[in-house]
Amino acid sequence: MPTNRSDNSCANFDNGLIAIFSGVFSGVITNDLWIFNTLTLTWSLSHATNAPLPMYAYCAVTLPDGNILYIGGYSHINSILVYTSMNNLPLYNTTSNTWENMSILGPLPPFRADFPAVLSMVFNKSLNVLSIKRIIIFGGRSFGTTFGDLWIVNTTKFWWSYGNISNPIVDLTLAGHTATLVDNYMFVSFGKSFNYPYAI
Ligand SMILES: *[C@@H]1O[C@H](CO)[C@@H](O)[C@H](O)[C@H]1NC(C)=O
Ligand SMILES: *[C@@H]1O[C@H](CO)[C@@H](O)[C@H](O)[C@H]1NC(C)=O
Ligand SMILES: *[C@@H]1O[C@H](CO)[C@@H](O)[C@H](O)[C@H]1NC(C)=O
C-alpha cells in the first residue's frame, strides 16, 4: 500500500478504481501512482511510464473519456518549490496505462495550488442529451496570494478561458475549499479566505 501522504487529489475511473498520485509527507514527495480497487479493496502500484514530476496540492479530474487530467499544484526541483505549468498538464491514460502531456492553449490562469475542479455537464433540451464539456476551477493560492477567479477548460478543444463571474460576496478569495456539481450549480464550500475580514 502507499506510504502516508496528504495534499493529493483522487480520481475514479473504470467503474470502481481510484487513482491516487503523488502527494506529500514530511516534505517528501514521490511520483508514484497507486490504484485502489474499491471492489476487491486492494492497492496496486501502477508502473505507468513517463510519469510527471512528483506533485501535491494539485487537482485531478476524470475526463469524459475516462482519462485523468492533473491541474496545478506544486513540485520540488532540487529542493526548490516550483508550481506546475498551467498550459502543459499531465494526463494519465487509464486505457494504455501511460502518462501523456496535454497542451492547453488560450489565456493562462496564474499558477496555483489548493483549489478544486468540477466537470460540468450541459443538458441539451432540444436533442435530449447530456454532454460533458467543461472543467471549471475556482480560487486557490500561489506566492502568498489567494485567488477568487474562475477559469474554464473546454475539454473538446483543450482551451483555457477566463470566467467573468459576478459574486455577491465581494472580493471572495478561497484556498483549500471543495467544489461539487449539483445540476447546473457548482457549490463551493469550506476553505480559508485570507483577503476577507473573517475566515469563511
Ligand atoms: C502513518 O500513519 C499511521 C496512522 O496515523 C501512523 O500510525 C504511522 O506511524 C504513520 N507512519 C509514519 C511513517 O509516519
Ligand atoms: C469548445 O470549443 C468549441 C470550438 O471552439 C466550441 O464549439 C464549443 O462550443 C466549446 N464548448 C464549450 C462548452 O464552451
Ligand atoms: C467582466 O464583466 C464586467 C461586467 O459585465 C465588465 O465590466 C468587465 O469589464 C469584465 N471583465 C473582464 C476581464 O472581461
- Which pLDDT score is estimated for 193? 81
Q: How far is the CA of 149 from the centre of ligand 1 (A)?
A: 37
Q: Which ligand is nearest to the CA of 158?
A: 2
Q: Name, in order, each residue with C-beta under 8 angstroms of 97's C-beta and a sequence gap of 6 or more.
A: 46, 47, 48
Q: Cβ(134) to ligand 2 under 6 A?
A: yes
User: Please, is 193 exposed, middle or buried when counting C-beta atoms within 10 Å of its C-beta (0-12, 13-18, 19+)?
Assistant: buried
Q: What is the pLDDT of residues 44-80, one digit of tens each?
A: 999 999 999 999 999 999 998 999 999 999 998 888 8
Looking at per-residue pLDDT, the higher value among 156 and 179 belongs to 179
Q: Cβ(47) to ligand 2 under 6 A?
A: no
Q: Which ligand is nearest to the CA of 3?
A: 1
Q: What is the pLDDT of residues 117-133, one digit of tens each?
A: 999 977 778 888 777 78
- pLDDT band for 196, please (50, 70, 90 cuts): low
- Which pLDDT score is estimated for 200? 44
The reported pTM is 0.90
- pLDDT band for 199, please (50, 70, 90 cuts): very low
Minimal-distance CA residue to ligand 2 atom 10: 154
- Which pLDDT score is estimated for 195? 63
Cα–Cα distance measured from residue 111 to residue 42, given in angstroms and rounded to the nearest whole number: 35
